[in-house]
């Protein structure tokens, strides 16, 4: 096996042929082929795949998109082809440090990084003095900055946020009034308030209601009312979230009405009302043919209304949505289906009667050992590789010794590669050791060849690393994501104690040349310098 093969992506079970649509949206072979083409620079294949299904531009596997891979590998032709689809920015998560331009820059592709920043200015933007002052609630400082230079009023900072976005996130009404009265634009869009689950398209008024696309709500109606009074567009989703039936009716009675209208963030009126138990508004929207199964951003591909109503225990809303065709199995990212999300017995029965299913994976996570034991007795050969991996991951995560032993006693082993919830496998070190004794690979890779030791290094988890090293973990393996060893991961994340630990384990790791290294290999010293961790630079120099 040559170096390229050793560093190639590992095809996950979920993206194998004949598997169900990935995220209920895309053919698994199409997603896999696009990811591989992005890595190899095969722009013709990228073009053909996107012509076949333009929505593939939003595909990802385990939060890694084709755009991120192409940027990392320096494949500018693929990047340009992907960016022909302008909506790509709507669903590509971004955080302060690892946006696609930074990824390109980190891997030595300066021209590509510049191109990406020219295509999306928020990739280059950093928080300035005014953003920091707003976040610190320093009204006098903000006043001084604006008096000195009024152009700071709407300046974009990290994650495309203006000072007003930060003021709304702080729920600082005095700061909001200062900015708006000074002339701040009230409907600029930016990323939401959560890094990993963040998506683009949040107006300040939307951020007053939601932290991000699902789960947590902010619900500061005072801020919403103020922003609307100052000209923020009072759209159908915002009115529905506020429980404003009169406004909802007025919008639905317009000639150009659209009951499924989505905010730039993807939020729709039906879920906005459903997640707040505004039953009459839900009914009004459904009478105007609102569709409960339309996607809402990248993490709710089949709608959010039913899931939210089930999760929060709104029985009448659940009944109404089911009566109007809501999919009882519409999953939300990392949250399961409605029947898996609810804690209400009546709602669970309603969903079950309409075809709602509880997956075996949910039973694993919920420690339903009696059900799992019965299931394995009746269906001994039906667990998929994904389900087996999730079973072990959930068991270790929950310190569920019974489940670990049940799976082992039924002849199951941890798969040879695991991406989904890989890091759960060392939450409980006693159970992790039991798995290692029963054949789990101490170098168990994910789809980008990230091993447990890589993750532990990034987390600074010395105890887990000691265990896995005792069972043969190789500290010289190179991953495809950052192109470095576990020592490189520790250096990249500023984990000084872990760096010291690895160097005490083997001082030669400082200078050893991994067998998987190629011209793209990034040394630990490179990452320490790149991230500015001078104490680690000294240790590695």
Enumerate residues 6+ apart whose C-beta is below 8 A from 499.
487, 490, 491, 524, 536, 539, 540
Domain co-membership, 485 together with 466: yes
Q: Are residues 272 and 380 in the same domain?
A: no
| pLDDT confidence tier of residue 23, bands split at 50, 70 and 90 | confident
- Two structure tokens written together for 437: 């004794």
CB atoms within 10 A of CB 183: 11
Beta-bridged to residue 191, according to DSSP, are 200
Write out pLDDT tens, residues 212-222: 888 889 999 99
Q: CA nearest 56: which of 84, 16, 77, 95?
A: 84
CATH no. for residue 229?
1.25.40.20
DSSP string for residues in 48-95: HHHHH-GGGGG--BTTB-HHHHHHHHT-HHHHHHHHTSTTHHHHS---
For the residues 447-464, what does the mean pLDDT come to?
Answer: 98
Q: Are residues 23 and 107 in the same domain?
A: yes
- What pLDDT, in 10s, does the model give residues 46-58? 999 999 999 999 9
- pLDDT of 517 higher than 70: no
Mean pLDDT, rounded, of the chain: 94
Give the 3-state secondary structure percentages of the chain, helix then strand then coil, rounded to 5: 55, 5, 45
- Residue 151 tokens, joined: 């152009």
Contact between 309 and 336 under an 8 Å Cβ cutoff? The reply is no
pTM of the model: 0.90
CA distance 84 to 62: 23
> What total of structural domains would you count in the chain?
5
Give the pLDDT confidence score for residue 4 in this predicted structure: 45
H helix runs in 211-344, sequence order = 221-229, 236-241, 245-252, 269-274, 279-287, 305-312, 315-323, 338-341
Give the Cα-Cα-Cα angle 45, 49, 55 (nearest 5 degrees): 145
Compute the radius of gyration of the chain from its Cα atoms: 25
Three-state DSSP state, 217 = strand
Pair 299, 390 in one domain: no
Residues 306 and 329 in one domain: yes
User: 293 and 226 in one domain?
Assistant: no
Q: In the predicted model, is pLDDT for residue 520 greater than 60?
A: yes
264 with 366, same domain: the answer is no
Residues 13 and 42 in one domain: yes
**Quick one: what percent of the chain has pLDDT higher than 70?**
96
Residues 343 and 385 in one domain: no
pLDDT of residue 179: 99
Band (162; pLDDT cuts 50, 70, 90): very high
State CA 303 to chain mean position distance: 17
Together in a domain, 174 and 226: yes
Q: Are residues 241 and 346 in the same domain?
A: yes
Residue 246 and residue 312: Cα distance in Å, rounded?
25
Bridge partners of 200?
A: 191
Last residue of a domain, one of 233, 266, 301: 233
Segment 432-438 mean pLDDT: 99
Domain boundary among 358, 382, 411: 358
Expressed as residue numbers, the domain containing 145 is 129-233
- Are residues 293 and 334 located together in one domain of the fold? yes
Considering 182, 198, 233, which residue would you say is the last residue of a domain?
A: 233
Q: In angstroms, rounded to a whole number, what is the distance separating the alpha carbons of residues 376 and 356?
A: 21
Which run of H or E residues covers position 200? strand 200-202
Residues 86-135 pLDDT 10s: 777 765 655 545 789 999 999 999 999 999 999 988 888 889 999 999 99
Task: Please check whether residue 199 is in contact with residue 90, taking contact to mean a CB–CB distance below 8 angstroms.
Answer: yes
């Amino acid at each position: 096996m040559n170096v390229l093969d050793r560093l190639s992506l590992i095809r996950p079970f979920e993206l194998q042929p004949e598997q169900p649509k990935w995220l209920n949206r895309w053919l698994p072979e199409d997603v896999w082929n696009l990811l591989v083409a992005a890595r190899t620079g095969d722009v013709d294949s990228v073009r053909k795949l996107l012509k076949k299904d333009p929505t593939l531009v939003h595909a990802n596997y385990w939060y890694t998109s084709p755009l991120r891979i192409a940027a990392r590998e320096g494949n500018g032709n693929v990047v340009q082809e992907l960016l022909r689809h302008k909506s790509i920015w709507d669903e590509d998560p971004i955080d302060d440090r690892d946006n696609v331009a930074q990824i390109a820059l980190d891997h030595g592709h300066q021209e590509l990084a510049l191109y990406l920043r020219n295509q999306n200015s928020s990739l280059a933007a950093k928080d300035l003095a005014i953003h920091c002052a707003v976040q610190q609630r320093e009204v006098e400082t903000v006043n001084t900055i604006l008096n000195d230079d009024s152009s700071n009023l709407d300046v974009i900072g990290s994650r495309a946020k203006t000072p007003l976005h930060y003021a709304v996130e702080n729920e600082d009404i005095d700061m909001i009034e200062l900015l708006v009265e000074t002339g701040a634009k009230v409907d600029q869009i930016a990323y939401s308030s959560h890094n990993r689950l963040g998506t683009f398209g949040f107006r300040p008024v939307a951020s007053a209601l939601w932290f991000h696309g699902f789960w947590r709500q902010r619900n500061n109606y005072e801020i919403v009312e103020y922003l609307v009074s100052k000209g923020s567009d009072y759209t159908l989703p915002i009115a529905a979230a506020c429980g404003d039936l009169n406004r909802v009716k007025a919008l639905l009675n317009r000639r150009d009405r659209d009951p499924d209208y989505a905010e730039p963030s993807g939020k729709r009126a039906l879920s906005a009302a459903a997640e707040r138990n505004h039953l009459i508004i839900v009914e009004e929207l459904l009478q105007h043919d609102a569709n409960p199964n339309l996607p809402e951003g990248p993490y709710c591909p089949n709608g959010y209304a039913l899931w939210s109503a089930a999760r929060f225990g709104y029985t009448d809303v659940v009944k109404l949505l089911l009566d109007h065709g809501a999919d009882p199995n519409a999953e939300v990212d990392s949250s399961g289906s409605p029947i898996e999300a609810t804690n209400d017995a009546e709602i669970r029965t309603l969903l079950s009667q309409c075809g709602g299913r509880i997956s075996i994976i949910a039973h694993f996570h919920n420690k339903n050992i009696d059900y799992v034991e019965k299931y394995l007795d009746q269906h001994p050969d039906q667990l998929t590789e994904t389900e087996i991996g999730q079973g072990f991951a959930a068991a270790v995560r929950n310190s569920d010794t019974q489940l670990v032993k049940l799976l082992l006693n039924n002849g199951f082993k941890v798969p040879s590669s695991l991406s989904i919830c890989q890091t759960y496998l060392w939450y409980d070190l006693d159970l992790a050791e039991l798995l290692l004794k029963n054949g789990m690979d101490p170098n168990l890779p994910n789809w980008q060849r990230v091993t447990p030791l890589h993750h532990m290094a990034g987390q600074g988890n010395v105890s887990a690393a000691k265990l896995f090293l005792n069972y043969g973990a190789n500290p010289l393996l190179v991953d495809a994501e950052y192109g470095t060893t576990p020592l490189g991961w520790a250096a990249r994340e500023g984990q000084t104690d872990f760096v010291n630990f690895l160097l005490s384990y083997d001082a030669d790791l400082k200078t050893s040349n991994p067998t998987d290294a190629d011209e793209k290999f990034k040394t630990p010293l490179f990452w320490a310098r790149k991230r500015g961790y001078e104490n680690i630079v000294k240790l590695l120099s």
